[in-house]
């Protein structure tokens, strides 16, 4: 059983793989179906990569959440103290990228989640929180 809030470093490519594995095992513990697990693991992979590439590394927080007596979910927060995002609306558009990716990461993670929250301030960093309910 996952404790309520856990924190993991997200600093390099191997941490991205580890983040996927942690999210997979927590999603199984929450009782997500295989498709639900795959969706949240994929969203986590996109966000973890963003944390490394654009944020210069940061942390992932994993939290099991309870939305009601029978409603369990998983909430993931990716946080960095990198350069931040100047225009969040633009960054959320499919195809927008300042790196050399497809520009599907951020919006892709949003599409694969039930709740999505982003905070970013130029010069201070970025925090993205996603929640997926069972």
Partner 1 sequence: MDRIPILKLEDVLLVSIQVDMHDQLALTLQDDLTQKIVTTRARAVLIDISALEMVDSFMGRMLGNIASMSRILDAQTVVVGMRPAVAITLVELGLSLPGIRTALNVDAGLAVMREVLARRDEPANGE
Is residue 16 close enough to count as binding partner 1 by CB under 8 A?
A: yes
Sign of CA dihedral 70, 132, 80, 61: positive
Q: Cα–Cα distance between 103 and 1 in angstroms, integer? A: 35
Burial class (CB in 10 A: 0-12, 13-18, 19+), 49: buried
Q: Cα–Cα distance between 22 and 78 in angstroms, integer? A: 14
Ramachandran class of 115: left when φ > 0, alpha when ψ lies in -120 to 50, beta otherwise: beta
Is residue 107 close enough to count as binding partner 1 by CB under 8 A?
A: yes
User: Of 41-49, 55-63, 79-87, 123-131, which segment contacts partner 1 by CB under 8 A?
Assistant: 41-49
Is residue 21 close enough to count as binding partner 1 by CB under 8 A?
A: yes
Cβ 20 to partner 1, closest distance in Å? 7
Cβ nearer to partner 1, comparing 83 with 101: 101
Identify the H or E element spanning 118: strand 115-121
Cβ nearer to partner 1, comparing 49 with 75: 49
Cβ nearer to partner 1, comparing 42 with 72: 42
Is residue 38 close enough to count as binding partner 1 by CB under 8 A?
A: yes
Site for partner 1, residues 42 to 101, rule: CB under 8 A: 42, 45-46, 49, 94, 101
């Amino acid at each position: 059983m996952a404790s309520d809030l856990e924190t993991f470093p997200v600093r390099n490519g191997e941490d991205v793989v580890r983040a996927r594995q942690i999210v997979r095992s927590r999603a199984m513990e929450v009782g997500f179906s295989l498709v639900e697990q795959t969706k949240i693991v994929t969203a986590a992979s996109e966000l973890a990569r963003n944390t490394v590439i654009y944020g210069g590394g940061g942390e992932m927080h994993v939290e099991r959440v309870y939305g009601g007596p029978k409603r369990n979910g998983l909430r993931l927060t990716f946080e960095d103290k990198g350069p931040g995002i100047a225009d969040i609306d633009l960054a959320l558009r499919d195809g927008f990228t300042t790196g050399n990716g497809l520009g599907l990461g951020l919006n892709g993670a949003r599409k694969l989640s039930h709740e999505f929250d982003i905070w970013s301030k130029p010069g201070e960093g970025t925090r993205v929180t996603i929640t997926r309910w069972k």
